Amino acid sequence: MSKEQGGKGAGEQGSRGTEVRGSRGAVRPIVVVPIGQVDESILTVIGQGLREAFGWAYVIAAALPHPDYAYDRRRGQYLVDDILAQLSRLDLDAERWLGMADLDLYTPGLNFVFGQARMGGPAAVIALPRLRQSFYGLPEDEALFHQRAVKEAVHELGHTYGLGHCRNPHCVMCFSNSLPDVDRKERNFCLSCRRRSP
Ligand SMILES: [Zn+2]
Ligand SMILES: [Zn+2]
């Protein structure tokens, strides 16, 4: 009987940035996939945040087209399930991939979602607009926006590794129903989730 090993981040961080693309034997990267128009700066922030959290290198992919197919005219929002389904169909040579949409996403039964993931992988998606102070009529705070986005990205990718929601309000895997929830948690896994993360 063979025992599955490997794929456990620490000690496998030899490759950095985008250099791993195509190199044989290297750890496969996490790919950040812009969906429609997304600012370059936030893509990099997310890539670096994911590298810190998971230990994988990251690659930023070319943007997918604007997801008109997911638009609900009545709600003025985009159906996250359709976007995640399309992302999941991508066949990338990657550890995981994270779609990023600067669009308001929803799923039936909820007014909006910050993100969604396919439990067990390979894809997840996050929505940026509601992570900005300006969405609520407040002065913009870019550092806060970046922190929130990294937390949501790590959270959704945590789901792709099979992690469920954590009761520790400071753990990145804690469920966020609102921005105060997002702001209360940290961008790291609690010890218990860390043990089960890749
Ligand atoms: Zn979650
Ligand atoms: Zn936890």
pLDDT tens digits, one per residue of 34-78: 999 999 999 999 999 999 999 999 999 999 999 999 999 999 999
Query: Which range has the top average pLDDT, 1-5, 26-30, 113-117?
Result: 113-117
- Please give, one letter per residue, the 3-state secondary structure of the chain: CCCCCCCCCCCCCCCCCCCCCCCCCCCCCEEEEEECCCCHHHHHHHHHHHHHHHCCCEEECCCECCCHHHEECCCCEEEHHHHHHHHHHCCCCCCEEEEEECCCEECCCCCCECEEECCCCCEEEEECHHHCHHHHCCCCCHHHHHHHHHHHHHHHHHHHCCCCCCCCCCCCCCCCCCHHHHHHCCCCCCHHHHHHCC
Give domain status of residue 48, yes or no.
Answer: yes
> How far, in Å, is the centroid of ligand 1 from the Cα of 173?
6
Give domain status of residue 180, yes or no.
Answer: no
Give domain status of residue 179, yes or no.
Answer: no
> How far, in Å, is the centroid of ligand 2 from the Cα of 170?
8
Ligand number nearest CA of 185 is 2
Q: Tell me, what's the pLDDT at 196? A: 87
Name the domain count of the chain.
1
Give domain status of residue 24, yes or no.
Answer: no
Given pLDDT bands bounded at 50, 70 and 90, which one contains residue 89?
Answer: very high
Give domain status of residue 22, yes or no.
Answer: no
> How far, in Å, is the centroid of ligand 1 from the Cα of 174?
7
Give domain status of residue 25, yes or no.
Answer: no
Ligand number nearest CA of 164 is 1
Give domain status of residue 9, yes or no.
Answer: no
Let me know if 156 is a catalytic residue: yes
Percent of the chain with pLDDT over 70: 87
The CATH number of the domain where 60 resides is what?
3.40.390.10
Domain limits for position 148: 30-163
pLDDT at 161 over 80: yes
> How far, in Å, is the centroid of ligand 2 from the Cα of 160?
15
Give domain status of residue 174, yes or no.
Answer: no
pLDDT at 7 over 60: no
